[in-house]
Structure 1
């Protein structure tokens, strides 16, 4: 069983919102085969605490507009790694050093990547 179309669309909506706030290295993994509690992990890098907060706010607003409600939020006190749980997807917004340390994409490397259909961004444009 793979991720539902509803989960994929919500992940795409959240990813676009994160990209609009300069979130980088946006990756979605279909964890539905290995994890019963959600379909997709959406992993986003944000450069500092302030940017983590801006990305989290944008993702949550976009998700609410799409009809999704956050059921759990964690990590907002430090804004180093914030988790937003929407049941169908779990969004991880991490500062670069936290992402490197915990390396969720390595832990879940056997899970297929979800095509987020985001426009390609050159390294120069991202700076």
Structure 2
């Protein structure tokens, strides 16, 4: 079974994380793929769909994704995460406010709000 799906709509790269990476190598491969897509000149926004993730990543896997998100925050105009629950959404938004990035980095549980934030309200998600 594949662990992620993706699509590009206009200037938005949509990444749907279907299943948590189980190793650092797997997480690094996925992070490199995301980085390569977001490095394309036509892409300026990132929509990260984590609705399917219910488990907590192993610390070393989380570190790979933490590093990627640091890179993302300086290389895209807008970054929206669709969180699987309100608690995670609130935590991510608190971190974004503390970091001073709330205007460009936000989390949502409402898919339509996330789509509107990145400017593709009619994107069909998987």
TM value normalised by structure 2: 0.36
TM value normalised by structure 1: 0.36
Report the structure, 1 or 2, having the larger helix content: 2
